[in-house]
Amino acid sequence: MGMDKTVRPCTGLTWPALRDFLGQRQYPLQLRMIDGELAFPDEMPPESWHELRVSTPQGMLTLRRTEDAVTVVTWGNADTGLRQAWHALTWACAEVSGGQVETEQGPLSAAAFRQQVELPPALTV
């Protein structure tokens, strides 16, 4: 059983923009899979990608994309570090795309979401 957070609307989000946004903040991401196929860490997904498996310093996360949203998925038993990575990737998707994070309290802007969640230490500076 996994946990997920959805960012909507999330149109125009590209892998390079997401990777570079977090990379510029000293939080590296690498691709591991594209649409169920193994990928080289520096490989570029096609513009039509539906699912990316992403490696963070704390572990693996999945990005699932639909027409107007991206959902960030992690394990239901994720430890603190992996939950922080999950929050970081969700925040970055919202920030880069201009979308909002869907939460139980309602939609939150990227800035509001960032203030409410615990992020990896590299992103709290």
- What is the predicted pLDDT for the residue at 1? 65
- Give pLDDT tens digits for 49-59: 999 999 999 99
- Give the chain's domains with CATH numbers: 2-105 (3.30.310)
Could you check whether the bond before residue 121 is cis, i.e. omega within 30 degrees of 0?
A: no
pLDDT in tens, 56-109: 999 999 999 999 999 999 998 999 999 999 999 999 999 999 999 999 999 999
Tell me, what's the pLDDT at 50? 96
Read off the pTM: 0.95
Cα-based distances in Å from 70 to 54, 81, 94: 13, 21, 9
Q: What b/e readout covers 98-120, taking b as 16+ CB neighbours within 10 angstroms?
A: ebbbbeeeeebebeebbeebebb
The pLDDT value recorded for residue 12 is: 84
